[in-house]
């Protein structure tokens, strides 16, 4: 199994999931700037969309899109409780979180990474993201993790996205529950392993 990733990008989410699940895999660096692998291979030949993550199974099957990939990983290791069982309301709650993170948080950061975006547009994007973090802060008031007492793949995804507040200059210091949750996730051994593997931690 191969995971195509770029350091600190949204591919950190399945990278974390794989370490949490204890599944052996080969990490393959795919630059989001050059769209080439380290050996010079054109990444567009592997993923025509050009972005990460992509999971390639041993039989050559390729799976795109982080929320789909992390659920696949979770289902490979059911005893790790990274996702509730398929068909349960709890599983739909997980999908609800993954969709919210993908559409409201992840995509909300896109303008902040775009050097061609006017400052006024970036300010609007930051204000909307802050409103989402304010809502998240309330949701995390009485919970250890997004789904309750147990870490799930949704936490790994939100952690990845929340890490982008520093490089984009988004101040979330006013959200103590988000900060406490982020510190809890950051302290997990599998999260630290994934971050070290991507060169994000020494």
Domain containing 42 — which CATH number?
A: 3.40.30.10
Q: What is the pLDDT of residues 48-72, one digit of tens each?
A: 999 999 999 999 999 999 999 999 9
One domain for residues 75 and 94:
no
d(CA 139, CA 192): 25
Residue listed under structure tokens 């051994």:
189
Whether residue 202 is predicted with pLDDT greater than 80 in this model: the reply is no
One domain for residues 16 and 97:
no
User: Tell me, what's the pLDDT at 32?
Assistant: 84
User: Tell me, what's the pLDDT at 201?
Assistant: 86
> What SS3 state is found at 193?
helix
Q: Determine the structural domain holding residue 185 and report its residue range.
A: 89-189
The pTM for the full model equals 0.96
Neighbour tally for 123: CB within 10 Å: 11
User: Tell me, what's the pLDDT at 17?
Assistant: 98
> What SS3 state is found at 185?
helix
Q: Quote the number of domains for the chain.
A: 2
One domain for residues 20 and 76:
yes
Query: What is the residue-wise DSSP string for 51-118?
Result: -S-EEE-TTS-EEESHHHHHHHHHHH-GGG-SSPPTTSHHHHHHHHHHHHIIIIIIHHHHHHH-TTS-
One domain for residues 54 and 27:
yes
One domain for residues 94 and 77:
no
User: Tell me, what's the pLDDT at 190?
Assistant: 97
d(CA 11, CA 169): 21
User: Tell me, what's the pLDDT at 33?
Assistant: 85
One domain for residues 93 and 183:
yes
Tokens in use for 157?
């995804």
Whether residue 88 is predicted with pLDDT greater than 80 in this model: the reply is yes
The rounded mean pLDDT for the chain is: 96
Tokens in use for 178?
């988000």
Does the residue 116 lie in any domain?
yes
Q: What is the CATH number of the domain that holds 125?
A: 1.20.1050.10
Neighbour tally for 173: CB within 10 Å: 8
State what percent of residues in the chain have pLDDT above 70. 100
d(CA 133, CA 174): 10
Q: For residue 31, what pLDDT band results from cuts at 50, 70 and 90?
A: confident
d(CA 27, CA 34): 18
One domain for residues 100 and 42:
no
Does the residue 202 lie in any domain?
no
One domain for residues 76 and 107:
no
One domain for residues 160 and 114:
yes
């Amino acid at each position: 199994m191969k995971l195509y990733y770029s350091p600190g990008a949204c591919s950190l989410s399945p990278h974390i999931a794989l370490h949490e699940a204890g599944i052996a895999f080969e990490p393959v660096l795919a630059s989001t700037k050059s769209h080439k692998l380290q050996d010079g291979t054109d990444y567009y030949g592997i993923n025509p969309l050009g972005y990460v993550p992509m999971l390639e199974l041993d039989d050559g099957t390729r799976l795109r899109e982080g929320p789909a990939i992390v659920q696949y990983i979770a289902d490979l290791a059911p005893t790790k409780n990274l996702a509730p069982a398929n068909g349960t309301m709890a599983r739909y709650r997980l999908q609800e979180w993954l969709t919210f993170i993908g559409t409201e948080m992840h995509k909300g950061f896109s303008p902040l990474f775009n050097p061609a975006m006017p400052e006024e547009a970036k300010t609007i994007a930051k204000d909307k993201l802050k409103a989402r973090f304010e809502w998240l802060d309330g949701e995390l008031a009485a919970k250890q993790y997004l789904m309750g007492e147990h870490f799930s793949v949704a936490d790994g995804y939100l952690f990845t996205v929340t890490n982008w507040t520093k490089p984009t200059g988004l101040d979330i210091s006013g959200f103590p529950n988000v900060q406490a949750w982020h510190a809890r996730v950051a302290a997990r051994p599998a999260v630290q392993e994934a971050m070290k593997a991507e060169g994000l931690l020494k």
